[in-house]
Structure 1
Amino acid sequence: MASEEKRIADELSFPIMLSERVRAAVDEAESYKLECSEVGKHVDRISQMLRTLVRLATPTASLYERPIRRVVAEVSKNLERAITLVRKCKHQSVLRRVVKIVSAADFRKLFGLLESSVGDMKWLLSIFDSDSGGGGGIVSLPPIASNDPIISWVWSSIASIQMGQLPDRIDAANQLASLAQDNDRNKKIIVEEDGIPPFLKLLKESSSPEAQIAAATALCNLANEQERVRAIVNEVGVPIIVQVLGDSPIRVQIKAASLVARMAEHDPVAQDDFARENVIRPLVTLLSFETFVDDSKLHSGKQSIHSIVQINKEMGINSLGDSNTNRPYKNSLSNSHSYSHSESSRAGNHRRERENEKPEFKLLQKISCAEALWMLSRGSVANSRRVTETKGLLCLAKLVEKEVGELQFNCLMTITEITAAAESNSDLRRAAFKTNSHAAKAVVDQLLRLITEVDSPTLQIPAIRSTGSLARTFPARETRVIGPLVNQLGNRDLDVATEAAISLGKFACPDNFLHVEHSKTIIEFKGVPPLLKLLRGNEQSLLRGIILLCYLALHASNNDALDQARVLTALEGVDRTVIMQHPELKELVPKAVYHLNLYHAGGHSQRLSYVP
């Protein structure tokens, strides 16, 4: 701390020295003495305020330096201008007086600059005045921020968080959270003006859940872009957030988990850092709380509309303005929470408190934890493995079974990310989804239930995608998986049908060791007719339909169902333009036509040739 004080003292000593030089130049002036005297009065006021600032700033335990450095730099420039002008009024030769002309207009301009410096110094001193609560009551606008008033608001609010009393710190954090919610420019200013360290410091205020929620909300509003998330990471924010998540009241945990989700969503470095801090284990623990009890006790996801509205009123919930269109269930419930002053005093055992919490808060907590696991698992084999190494996979399956709405969707999307990771990594696939695994069976059961029983593309598409990602884990006898996928080929929603074709393609593709057996099963379940109808859809459904038809033709060419459905005719009728636009079809279609010609008489293709 001594080195910081010395730096600020050095920063302030320079303009103080300049003010003394101006005073000396004023005393030596021989022309424009009245104007020079007025300059001296302005400079004396500035000098006095600079010395007061030194006395206030140097003993401050946690000094917010940004406005000091900006204001002092501007004051120093104006003092240098004053020295230059006043020194021209000193007695010199006739020639130098001709060359260096001084006018009254020069002094008027200098007076304006010095008055601005006086105003800036007054405002700066008000930040460090303890009677003002560390800037909490500042309403004036310093001249330095006249072109950008947001700067002064950010400076005073950050100073309050950094140096004020706890109530002022909370109010200032809420003000900045609201300001950051308005637009990305405000977010950028807050980060550039060193707002993140005070937020993290406030987040550690374990004695005040209200302070922690205010800090977490502000950080969450900032963390919607990789550069700003990286700034939080660089300030060693990840360990603080993980600590708060593991040892806080439920309302704080809701915001901490949302912050984990937001940061992991936008920055892979944050995603990895959270995993290294072992955040997945407390998230799974919170998510599994009351999950494995009797069904009669599971009511957290089925609250009435009235109770949800009531809890929103109690918490003062505001939307964070999340623009992620891939979250159809995203609502204000899992967004911003304001903690009531009457509830700000919390002590004792958090677990016991949680058991006594309202079901709505428990639901919000699980929603935010599930979202955090989703974002941590997304595109990360290592994090997906960490989830499966806990009881996370079974917990996710249970919640998909018992819950509805946003919690069910977030759990399903987490499963989708884990299965995608398993598809790309054989070690994870063998470890987490072996045939005798109770958790893996529970996951598959729920995926099939969503595919067959739920008429919702929002849930069916990720369930179908997850099933396709696991295609290489199913033995040939596991035909119960293929049947529901085949049925979805005829779904009236074209996106669902297309996703079913993609997943079945993973069963029938050559990379799957059991591709021949699976291809025959798809045909046995009468998958060819709806697949041919899929060719009449959009470009994506046409592409995926052709690919799956080709796989079936290659691996089950002698099946009469292909001949009866006139698959050969369909493949020969594929527009050559489509084939040219998709390189994967250039060899696949002619090869499939060749195989069909071998087994079914009467087919002689002149359009597409293939030489084995």
Structure 2
Amino acid sequence: MMETREKLIEEQLSGAIQLVERVRAAERDAHSYRFECSEVWKQAGRIGAMVRSVIRIVTSTPFLYERPIRRVVVEVCRTLERALALVRKCKHRSVLRRVVTIINAADFRKVFSLLEASVGDMKWLLSVVDADGGNGVGGIGVAIAPIASNDPILSWVWSYIASVQMGQLPYRIEAANCLVSIAQDNDRNKRIIAQEGGVPPLLKLMKESASPDAQIAATTALLHLADVQERVRLIADELGVPIIVHVLRNSPMRVQTVVANLVARMAELDPFSQEEFAREHVVRPLVTLLSFEIVMNENDPKMSIHSLVQINKEVGESSRVNAKLHLNSSSSMNEEGSGRGGRHNKDRENEKPEVKIKLKTSCAEALRMLARGNVSNSKRITETKGLLCLAKLIEKEKGDLQFNCLMTIMEITAIAEYNAELRRAVFKINSPAAKAVVSQLVRLIEEVDSTLLQIPAIRALGSLARTFSARETHIICALVAQLSHWDHDVAMEAAIALGKFACQENYLNAEHSESIIKFGGVTPLMKLMRVNEQTRLHGLILLCHLAIHSGNSESLEQARVLTILEGVQHTMMAQHPDLRELVLQATFLLRMYHNGALGEGQPYVP
């Protein structure tokens, strides 16, 4: 495919040379405006000499940035065609033919102007693509090409991309940083960089450079481009995911931090990239970096053996990826082992604490975005010791790192709520990791006065409602206490979570409903229903579940729950038709219980 593109470029350049020769032949045959035609040929000859220089560069450069060459050559050919047409009009000897074919000095002035612009374009093009010209290929302060005079950004983008792809290392780093600078200005600049082929050279710089500064510059540029799904998909389509994972495994910590941010951004915006990262086993290096300096005291030999098997499996996958990327497999097969990765692991000991925290925060955010709505990535996190690591960090850390770890757990539990296989395999009653997670979730709810942390902790416990036995009433007690929380959003989330304990899908709904009532959940729930429309909705749902599964409770009768349900049922059913059956069943059962007329086995008739 590369050879085909180069051949097409050579054909374009050869077409320009042919036009130059035709201008020369037409100048020889001209009989009028001899001086002007001679000047046209001089300019065309200069263009031809520069086109031949470009041809030599094209044939000798293995990785050529094509976009500006194509655009400039097309414009140059148009100018040469116009010059050729004008010079040919000067061929006729007959005075009559010369009068009929109207030519004046203004026509030559226009052509001279176009030829001068083409000469300027060719000079600029040579300065951009000539890697041996001593100017570093483009770079800071490069002149604006006449072809891009109406849009200088295009000229700068061409120059910087060419430098990133073909320049010496210092100029490549400088050009990548320049792309970062103009990408920060507006979305249009990002779109131009992507459209003009900026992604492959940046990935190439990431992959091939041993310089941390170069990798950071390239990754930062990609991070600025990857702010919409279209450009994220472009990075993935250019086989960027294997390169990103490789750099994450085998780079210094300051590089890994930026790469982890890129993983998070791509996973957040594009489900396809989420799956690509899962196939490239990005979870394990992220968990490894996150658990650095954390002692894992998990007394579960089965998980330890499984973890070892998984490592061996992923090492094999990693070596195959590196072979495809023409990478040195001996230095990158084991992310925990030898070579560059090993040296970087040793270097971590000497890193500043703030650098380590920043890296862990970025890795936690990447895991959060990878787990969001994705079963395979959630499974991979739980198959490592990721859950235990997240729980320990929630316990020990504060700020963004603690928050990102908590949000990762919330995303995993949201998947487990609807994926029975994941829920049963990971959140077992006797699992040390599951116990540690639940313990930290309850602690955050009871001890931390931060709605930012309490809300995701409550949601996570609600997602795990079907994993708790009837004896684990301390969890329900903690959630019931939040029904009286000063923040109505926290109280509403507690009602939603308790609704998952008491709903029909939970086979322990009767036992959990009794516990909710026992711990005094009815009174704050009644108050919550008077706050606003949202809290009324979720409070009504929980009240209905309590009425259906513990309708004979005196607490429900004393709180006049039946009166409340009868008062709101018509309005709520009109606004939320899907609640009709639930409200009617709850109202029916409460009437029967309160009237003492609910006989043995009497059916519900809506």
TM over 0.5: yes
Displacement of 1:371 after TM fit?
Answer: 0.7
Question: Does 1:555 find its partner at 2:549?
Answer: yes
Please list, as runs of the form range in 1=range in 2, the aligned pairs for 1:138-537 lying within 5 A after superposition: 138-292=141-295, 349-537=343-531
Per the alignment, residue 313 of structure 1 pairs with: none
Displacement of 1:58 after TM fit?
Answer: 2.1
On the 8 A contact 1:206/1:248 being kept in 2, the answer is no
Per the alignment, residue 33 of structure 1 pairs with: 34
Secondary structure of 1:172's aligned partner: helix
Displacement of 1:536 after TM fit?
Answer: 1.4
CA distance in 2, matches of 1:472, 1:392: 22
CA distance in 1, matches of 2:533, 2:114: 66
Displacement of 1:5 after TM fit?
Answer: 4.4
Secondary structure of 2:484's aligned partner: coil
Between 1:99-108 and 1:408-417, the stretch displaced more is 99-108
Between 1:89-98 and 1:397-406, the stretch displaced more is 89-98
CA distance in 2, matches of 1:434, 1:441: 9
CA distance in 1, matches of 2:531, 2:505: 27
Secondary structure of 1:574's aligned partner: helix
Displacement of 1:559 after TM fit?
Answer: 0.5
CA distance in 2, matches of 1:94, 1:349: 85
| Uncovered stretches (5+) of structure 1, i.e. residues with no partner | 295-345, 604-609
Displacement of 1:89 after TM fit?
Answer: 2.3
Query: CA, structure 1 residues 467+88, in 2 after alignment: closer, same or farther (shift >3 Å)?
Result: same
Q: Deviations over 1:132-154 (max 9, x none)?
A: 11112552111111111111111
Query: CA, structure 1 residues 2+557, in 2 after alignment: closer, same or farther (shift >3 Å)?
Result: closer
CA distance in 1, matches of 2:271, 2:562: 47
CA distance in 1, matches of 2:544, 2:140: 72
Amino acid at match of 1:501: A
Question: Does 1:108 find its partner at 2:109?
Answer: yes
Matched residue count: 555
Displacement of 1:248 after TM fit?
Answer: 1.0
On the 8 A contact 1:155/1:193 being kept in 2, the answer is yes
Q: Deviations over 1:300-357 (max 9, x none)?
A: xxxxxxxxxxxxxxxxxxxxxxxxxxxxxxxxxxxxxxxxxxxxxx997111110111
Displacement of 1:179 after TM fit?
Answer: 1.4
Displacement of 1:399 after TM fit?
Answer: 0.5
Secondary structure of 1:600's aligned partner: helix
Per the alignment, residue 301 of structure 2 pairs with: none
Displacement of 1:517 after TM fit?
Answer: 1.1
Superposition CA RMSD, Å:
1.9
Amino acid at match of 2:159: S
CA distance in 2, matches of 1:173, 1:247: 21
Secondary structure of 1:30's aligned partner: coil
On the 8 A contact 1:138/1:156 being kept in 2, the answer is no
CA distance in 1, matches of 2:483, 2:100: 91
| Uncovered stretches (5+) of structure 2, i.e. residues with no partner | 298-339, 598-603
On the 8 A contact 1:374/1:410 being kept in 2, the answer is yes
Query: CA, structure 1 residues 99+554, in 2 after alignment: closer, same or farther (shift >3 Å)?
Result: farther
Amino acid at match of 1:409: F
Displacement of 1:63 after TM fit?
Answer: 1.1
Amino acid at match of 1:237: G
Amino acid at match of 1:74: E
Query: CA, structure 1 residues 68+218, in 2 after alignment: closer, same or farther (shift >3 Å)?
Result: same
Question: Any runs of at least 4 consecutive aligned residues in structure 1 with deviations exceeding 6 A, and if so which?
Answer: 92-96
Q: Deviations over 1:267-295 (max 9, x none)?
A: 1111111110111011111111111279x
Per the alignment, residue 332 of structure 1 pairs with: none
Amino acid at match of 1:153: W
Q: Deviations over 1:47-90 (max 9, x none)?
A: 11111222233212321111111101110111111122222222
Between 1:67-76 and 1:20-29, the stretch displaced more is 20-29
Question: Does 1:60 find its partner at 2:61?
Answer: yes
CA distance in 1, matches of 2:449, 2:8: 66
CA distance in 2, matches of 1:104, 1:232: 52
Amino acid at match of 1:564: Q
CA distance in 1, matches of 2:35, 2:563: 103
CA distance in 2, matches of 1:347, 1:521: 53
Q: Deviations over 1:388-431 (max 9, x none)?
A: 00000111111111110000011001000100000010000000
On the 8 A contact 2:251/2:341 being kept in 1, the answer is no
More helix by share: 2
Per the alignment, residue 537 of structure 2 pairs with: 543
CA distance in 1, matches of 2:352, 2:585: 62
Per the alignment, residue 118 of structure 1 pairs with: 119
Normalised by the length of structure 2, the TM-score is 0.88
CA distance in 2, matches of 1:110, 1:150: 27
Q: Deviations over 1:524-581 (max 9, x none)?
A: 1110111111111222111101111111111111101001001111111116343212
Query: CA, structure 1 residues 598+403, in 2 after alignment: closer, same or farther (shift >3 Å)?
Result: same
CA distance in 1, matches of 2:493, 2:341: 50
On the 8 A contact 2:417/2:463 being kept in 1, the answer is yes
CA distance in 2, matches of 1:577, 1:41: 87
CA distance in 1, matches of 2:493, 2:77: 66
Amino acid at match of 1:171: E
CA distance in 2, matches of 1:347, 1:428: 32
